[in-house]
Structure 1
Amino acid sequence: MLSPSRTDDIGKSNSRFPTRNTTYPHDDHTVGRVRVRHSNGFEASIQGHDQSLRTWNRRPGFADTFADVQSLDLGATVQQTFEVGDFVNNLGLEYLGRGNVDAFDASGTIGNRRYTLRDAREQSWSLFAISDWAVASNVALEFGARHSTIDQSQAGAQLDDGDTALTAGAVWTPNDAHRLSLNIAVAIASRRSKNDFSVVSPHKAKCSAIRTSAPSIPSVSMLAIRGPAAHGIARSTCGAPTSMI
């Protein structure tokens, strides 16, 4: 699948118009994905999302302001599903990367720029496993684990994060109309930084071009363990279309 999108001069609904007029001079995206499946339970996919977004704010009596962000997202997932007795197991490896991240604010003219991100990048590797056990015709138990490492760099600074999530669940289906489930999860996160690492989002409300810290996970669902390829979960960027679906 390849889906390019090119739009210019998009108006934004604003309750403060005409005292504030916000437009998007350009909002460009190219999304692509290739997925292969085999009857033996093997599945692999690669995807990419190239984007460039600019915001222009105008207010009478004030200098015009601009915000611009662009990045290239790449991802890949390989997973294998197999059965052993009453157990259905899924093992997988996932990569998500964001590179060539440039973001700036400008005031007065587009050339009067202050970069908040310059050639920043983020890479994440995850290994996940999950097992479904059919204890009875109407009872199933689920066990899962996921370990992720996240590496970020920006302007010579570097931040390395890691987290491990474990989860267990039970599903009871008393009849066709009812289904009860219970999940318990725990996660442990670690961080290792080199130099000062701080990232300022160029879009005031709205998004981060690159994450500044590893997620703190008080609870993790089975969907999070399985990975985006298995369930269509994807990152969204600044309100733009998601890149992994």
Structure 2
Amino acid sequence: MLKPTLRIAVLECDEPVGKTKEKYGGYGNLFAELLNNGADLMVKKDGVKRPHLDISKYNVVNEEIFPSFDAVDAVLMTGSKYNAFDNDPWILKLVEYTKKVLAQDRVRLIGVCFGHQIIGRAMGSKVDRSDQGWEISCTPVTLTEKGKELFGVPKLAINQMHHDIVYTHPSSVEPLGHSDRCEVQGMYSPRRLISTQGHPEFGAEVITELLQRRHEQGVFDDAMFEEALTRANDHHDGVAVAAAFVRFLLED
């Protein structure tokens, strides 16, 4: 039976910068826009009744407040400039909270980039710097059969902004895809979790602003920055990924 309302808590693990912050305030609002667009696409493609999304936001970096399980149906962890393998108190609390989500069987879990890595860490996989370097801008991801089924595309294009990776898939998840620089691009366990290393919420404006900021900071050299800019406006499948997130939340 279709749930009329999905209560989704977005755990904001960082905050936007520049124009993105001016427009959205926080990543929770960016994800709210993405998830609602995903719900619309799901309705269009699947011909089902649209669920109402009740989206709340929690600043877990500064406030370290987490939603109670009886108040939500799902938890979504955002990306972050921080390292998922570090042991800052708020990161350790986030890992422990993630373990608690995974230990129960009603509230579902979605992870994006840093959030994806936190799930990997909570499930015992190695999370660390990639020896392949940064993966940035719009990037092709080769999907598994399960990835193709969930995302509804033969090959995924998604914006990336990471230097850290989950090194191996936890034994209890289904792999969703891989890229040239990252073997673990997505994880899935029915009615339990779904995650992506890429950023479905980042469109061309957001990814361009991040590329420019990190180039100015000296993180990306001229050649790396200029090459990444050539892909920043490429088509990406962020809304298809969001539709997959909403379908996952509706799984019986």
Where on the TM-score scale, by shorter chain, does this alignment land: which range? under 0.3
TM-score (norm 2): 0.26
Q: Which has the larger radius of gyration?
A: 1
Greater fraction helix: 2
TM-score by length of 1: 0.26
Which of the pair has the greater relative contact order for Cα pairs under 8 Å at 6+ separation? Answer: 2
Higher share of residues assigned strand: 1
